[in-house]
Amino acid sequence: MLKETPNLAPDGQPFRLITLRNGAGMVVTLMDWGATLLSCRVPLKDGSIRETLLGCASPEHYLQQSAFMGATVGRYANRIAGGKLTVGGETLQLDVNQGENQLHGGPEGFDKRRWRIAVQNEQEVIYELDSCDGDQGFPGKLHATARYALTEDNRISIELRATVDKPCPVNLTNHAYFNLDSVQNDVRQHKLQLLADSYLPVEANGLPAGDLKKVGGSSFDFREPKPIGQDFLNDADQQATKGYDHAFLLQAKGDLSQPVARVWSADGELEMVVYTTAPALQCYTGNYLAGTPARDRESYSDWNGVALESGFLPDSPNHPEWPQPSCWLKPTEAYLSITEYQFLPR
């Protein structure tokens, strides 16, 4: 189902909302501005419906937030130090939007664009976007597609694809914030499992602070499920970022059949399982969500949601030494990243 809003987006056209449904009664809503996930409503075993995504009250309110809520992010999700890339011995300066660094593709990243609707029905929507040579400072023309599908086993399947005509780093992701409780308050009461043996410590600005560290014996060890709040702010690595805002290098190494994370609501009635072909998962506990416009109240507070963003490690274009596939896409290659969020009522 496609619906156009009476309020207009910055380009003077209506926001176009699309609703996906499955036979289990799950309902997912998206919009073409930013190819954004707006809502994910999951039926529980007692017959009630639970909203699992943080979101705003209406599409135009998404323009008033800087949390990238539910948006498709690119060309390069996460941070690039100094906004600098080196291509063939030449240094390129990207547009910056977080101090001297670039975050999530720049000040006018893909989250702030209208994506074209190429395919749309009750099971899937495919969005398309073209990015010109020099867009936000990146080299080459890029063509991207984002396919969002709702499966009969309660998965939101996200397939992000891209091609380029010049070598360019590409790292597309979705920036949804999850809260599986009936009242979306402090997400630190959720249980989390992250199937990762190492994580990347970062400075307060989110840029790498050194080499990967083993999670063993640290507050970053989620290999066995534990409450997010159990070891919260217990060490300098967390204190630098006011909580978890770190990339974890996944055990699955791109195997989509292997779970990479699990989240449980505080009341135990809902579980979410994450699968991805990406090498890493950025776990962000919403440490700076305060003041973000909310769907059911004036604004969210810090730690009201957790984002589990698939992709490459932050600043990967400048760290070829890290044990992951290259983030540089060549004109002869096709970028594909698949991430699935499956919801299991308990």
Question: Can you tell me which residue has the tokens 């809503």?
Answer: 29
Known binding-site positions: 78-79, 175-177, 245
Q: Which residues are annotated as a binding site for beta-D-galactose?
A: 78-79, 175-177, 245
Tokens representing residue 213 in the block: 């560290």
Q: If DSSP states are collapsed to H, E and C, what string results for the chain?
A: CEEEEEEECCCCCEEEEEEEECCCCCEEEEECECCEEEEEEEECCCCCEEECECCCCCHHHHHHCCCCCCCEECCECCEEHHHEEEECCEEEECCCCECCEEECCCCCCHHHCECEEEEECCCEEEEEEEECCCHHHCCCCEEEEEEEEECCCCEEEEEEEEEECCCEECECEECCEECCCCCCCCHHHCEEEECEEEECCECCCCCECCCCEECCCCCCCCCCCEECCCCCCCCHHHHCCCCCEEEEEECCCCCCCCEEEEEECCCCCEEEEEEECCCEEEEECCCCCCCCECCCCCECCCCCCEEEEEECCCCHHHCCCCCCCCCEECCCCCEEEEEEEEEEEC
CB atoms near residue 47 (< 10 Å): 7
**Residue 146: beta bridge partners?**
127, 160
Q: Given 104, 190, 269, 309, which residue is catalytic?
A: 309
Check 104, 175, 190, 246 and give the catalytic one.
175
309 carries an active-site annotation = yes
Q: Cite the active site residues.
A: 175, 309
